[in-house]
Structure 1
Amino acid sequence: MKKLMLSIAVAAAAIGSTVPAQARDNKLMMPLAAAMAANDAQSRLGDTVKFYFGSQKTPAIAQRLGSDKTSQKTNSFGKSPETACNWAFLSGMLKLQQRAKELGADAVINIVSNYKNEEMSSETEFECHDGAMMSGVALKGEFVKLK
């Protein structure tokens, strides 16, 4: 009887360990305007590097300097999805700004959401994935010098 009970326990443990845990990963479309108004984003980003989202019209381009992507996460525990997503968005924008300055660019154009390398282009929204413990925003942009 002990062997049967042990066999059942081992089988149950094996079955239980093969079932994947379901973590929360809510895809949210967040407004760019609200994110740029939160966390003092406008003043933190300044105006030395200009940002153009999606297919926004840009001034004439003098030189293309490359592209890059960033994936930023923040702790979402105890935060609203909006708060967590806006923090992750600002972190991503600061990374794009830093890279632009390193390259001598004065603008980042064609900024798109790039979560898990799946592009989503919008002039008004960005994609954020909100989980129980972490929220993340991935951005991709092209660095240029404007005329």
Structure 2
Amino acid sequence: MKHSLFVAGLVIALASTTAQARETRVEGSFEELVNSPEAKKAGIDGSVRFYLAGQKTPAVQSRMGEDVSNKKTNAANKSDAEACRWVTLSVLKAFQDSAKSRGANAVIDMVSYYKKNEFKSAQNYECYAGAIMAGTAMKGTYAKIK
């Protein structure tokens, strides 16, 4: 009886550790991503410029509201960095499309906003990768700049 309880306990303990989802934080260069060949393939066309919080921007003529974009992508058979680059480009494409519809030509003061936790960096974005999914969330302000 003691032996079977021990085995049952061991099985439960092992199952609970493997059932926990992996969530690895990945940081990447924002400027390198925006200027990459993958950005062009993802439809980032340069008509809307992106500025992280803390980056110097041209003179802001008007602000057109704040927004959040939260995207997930399949991370299976991709490195964490590759999955994070792709999902972050999806976030930027969503911001670009929304900016165009509002008449904005920039998204400024952008911060990573994963699970509503702000990560501010003037150089890097933040993403979280798991075994099967990767996710990026960003918050930014639409603007008309010179």
Match in the other structure for 1:58: 57
Residue matched to 1:67: 66
The aligned runs of 1:1-147 (5 Å cut-off) are 16=12, 21-38=19-36, 40-42=38-40, 44-147=43-146
Q: Separation in 2 of the partners of 1:133 and 1:34?
A: 25
- Please say which structure displays the higher CA radius of gyration: 1
Q: What is the CA–CA distance in structure 1 between the aligned matches of 2:60 and 2:44, rounded to whole Å?
A: 21
Rounded to whole Å, the distance in 2 between the matches of 1:51 and 1:68 is 13
TM-score (norm 1): 0.82
Compute the displacement of 1:39 (Å).
5.0
> Contact between 1:38 and 1:86, CA under 8 Å: does it hold in 2?
no
Task: Compute the displacement of 1:64 (Å).
Answer: 1.0
Distance 1:123 1:42, change over 3 A: farther
Percentage identity across paired residues of the two chains: 39
Q: 1:30/1:72 Cα in 2 relative to 1: closer, same or farther (>3 Å)?
A: same
Report deviation, 1:74: 0.8
Runs of 4+ aligned structure 1 residues displaced above 4 Å come to none
Q: Distance in 2 between matches of 1:84 and 1:52?
A: 22
Which ranges of structure 2 fall in alignment gaps of 5 or more residues?
none
Alpha-carbon distance in structure 1 between the residues aligned to 2:62 and 2:90: 26
After TM superposition, give the deviation of residue 40 of structure 1 in Å. 2.7
1:11-39 CA distances to partner (integer Å, 9 max, x unpaired)?
x69xx5xx683110011112223423445
Could you tell me which runs of 5 or more consecutive residues in structure 1 were left unpaired when the two chains were aligned.
none
With 56-65 and 19-28 compared, the bigger mean Cα shift is at 19-28
Q: Secondary structure at the match of 2:57?
A: coil
Across the aligned residues of Structure 1 and Structure 2, the Cα RMSD in angstroms comes to: 2.3
User: Are residues 78 and 37 of structure 1, via their aligned partners in 2, closer, same or farther at CA, if it must alter by over 3 Å?
Assistant: farther
In structure 2, distance between residues paired with 1:96 and 1:72 = 11
Q: State the AA in 2 paired with 1:121.
A: K
CA contact (8 A) 1:39 1:87 kept: no
